[in-house]
Structure 1
């Protein structure tokens, strides 16, 4: 999971990839184990899947699009959902990153 966020956060962008992966691993542990934000991540994922299903139902039920158009809309919604999930997970990871960086500065 951490490799998706290499060079994602400005605070650690200047560090090597190896250092970033180590810091991100600590941040993930901090966010999802210590701060228990894993529940939020599960809620985000559930809401994204539910909104995807609702949107697809509305498109199919009310617009009666052609099969090809329906497939295009479905692919577009899936790509957007994945991007939104990465963004929202990144926000949760950032909370852990702030704590890890603050502790690192306090220890120095």
Structure 2
């Protein structure tokens, strides 16, 4: 007879799955930062890219790209045009993208930049 998992076992599995989703979200955020920094380097600041083109270039769904852009915008690393169809890096976002320190959370890096400035 198969034993059913306990509540604690199920809760632990949910935490593991949520952690995987958080990790995936952070990877997407970094991919967006690095892509926008490359556009900034190629075309000059601020390196504006239409959101659908950004999603296509990174092989992301538009919803996935939108969620990541919303978080990055809330952190002050990206901004968007008045219609919300295109995004670009802020100077802080560019600095963090070029620093490429993926081990330190973005919000901690932002505090460090603001403390220096």
What band does the TM-score fall into relative to the shorter chain?
0.3 to 0.5
Pair member with larger Rg: 1
Q: Is the strand fraction higher in 1 or 2?
A: 2
Answer 1 or 2: higher relative contact order, Cα 8 Å, separation at least 6. 1
- Give TM-score, length-normalised by structure 2: 0.33
Q: Is the helix fraction higher in 1 or 2?
A: 1
